[in-house]
Amino acid sequence: MKVGIGGFSSSGKSTVFHWLTHVRPDPAASLRGQVGMARIPDERLEWLSSLFRPKKTTPATIEFLDTPGLLADERRDNPRRLAILRESGGLLVVLNGYSDGNPAAELRRFREELLFADLEIVVNRIHRLEDQLRKPRPAKQREADEQERALLRRVEQALEAGQPASQLGLKEDEEKAIRSFQLLTLKPELVLVNISERQIGAPLSPELLALAPNALAAPAKLELELEDLAPEERQAFMNDLGLTGSSRDAVLRAIFRSMGQIVFFTVGEDECRAWPLPRGADAVEGAGQIHTDLAKRFVRAEVVSFADFRRVGSMKEAKQHGVYRLEGKTYVVQDGDIMHILAST
């Protein structure tokens, strides 16, 4: 999955990108967006790997896209600056918490920019549909256009009322019908406040939490700098600052979860692997992550939950204790499932 890093200029997006991906931001590249990967730390995968001792252990990853920031005073250019985020499956909104701004006000302004950029797209499309509807066309196409226009008008109304498209509760087919517009306000979002060392341990403001209940804070620049120190020196600094550890792992896991992703595991002597999957996906989609062919030839999935597996300690024991299941195509994969796909030859 690709997560776009958005926010206003100088909020610390490139610092956060560097901290999460360990890819050095390239100022020249950032106008077009720069890509970097992060592996999602998972203690369950480590545990499985220590048991199976495979040749290879492969965690789930997230691809991050660092983007140019929005301008607070030259707002006309912002829809163009936001366009680069449209291809992402979700947004990590970085707010400036290191200087004396108000992160809640900044988030409100950023969301307004998203609403505005989406509104522009929706209104343009409605106009185009209306042009089409004025011309003589086959009844079937007219009907499709009218349906799309009705749906887009609902989206337009929501956006104009300051509501993100995600709050409309669109049905699956409706969401599919407008997917190609890549609306920013339809994407999952996580807010990260980039704090300085002075704010470590301070709670986020109730004003911000009211807007973004899952918001996190991290001293990204400080933690990035600490990584360059020798271990003893780092420990001394951390003691001084009252830091118990890096928050990077927890932030990566929170981002993964907030983007609506889960993992299932495959295990064996060759490889133990965490496969990312959208929450709610079925066993066939899970098989498809491994290989499209495996999805086509899917027969059944052998499933043990991670918690059960850790308790009993082996596949054999799992079968004996009745925690091993055979599931069909429509089984909804659960986070932490250990799966083996049985396919026809």
Look at residues 178, 220, 158, 314 and name the one whose alpha carbon lies nearest to residue 25: 220
Q: Which residues bind ligand GDP (CB under 6 A)?
A: 7, 9-15, 69, 98, 194, 196, 221
CA atoms of 306 and 335, how far apart (whole Å): 9
What is the Cα Rg of the chain in Å?
A: 23
Look at residues 82, 101, 103 and name the one whose alpha carbon lies nearest to residue 91: 82
Q: Which is nearer to ligand GDP, 69 or 276 (CB)?
A: 69
CB 62 within 8 A of CB 3: yes
CB of residue 235 to ligand GDP, shortest distance in Å:
21
Select the span of 5-13, 175-183, 212-220, 294-302 touching Mg ion (CB under 5 A): 5-13
CA atoms of 294 and 192, how far apart (whole Å): 38
Q: Which is nearer to ligand GDP, 69 or 90 (CB)?
A: 69
CB of residue 252 to ligand GDP, shortest distance in Å:
18
Binding mask 21-50 for Mg ion (x = CB under 5 A): ---------x--------------------
Angle 343-284-320 from CA coordinates, rounded to 5°: 65
Q: Is 345 helix (H, G, I), strand (E, B) or coil?
A: coil
The option from Mg ion, ligand GDP, none interacting with 88 (CB < 5 to 8 A, set by class) reads none
159 contacts: CB under 8 Å, gap ≥ 6: 115, 118, 119, 122, 165, 185
Q: Which is nearer to ligand GDP, 78 or 194 (CB)?
A: 194
Q: Which is nearer to ligand GDP, 115 or 220 (CB)?
A: 220
The option from Mg ion, ligand GDP, none interacting with 336 (CB < 5 to 8 A, set by class) reads none
Tell me if 305 contacts Mg ion by CB under 5 A.
no
CB 107 within 8 A of CB 211: yes
Look at residues 77, 93, 69, 71 and name the one whose alpha carbon lies nearest to residue 3: 93
CB of residue 257 to ligand GDP, shortest distance in Å:
24
Tell me if 258 contacts Mg ion by CB under 5 A.
no
Tell me if 88 contacts Mg ion by CB under 5 A.
no
Q: Which is nearer to Mg ion, 33 or 41 (CB)?
A: 33
Considering only 1, 6, 11, 14, the residue that binds Mg ion (CB under 5 A) is 14
Query: Contact residues for Mg ion (CB under 5 A)?
Result: 13-14, 30
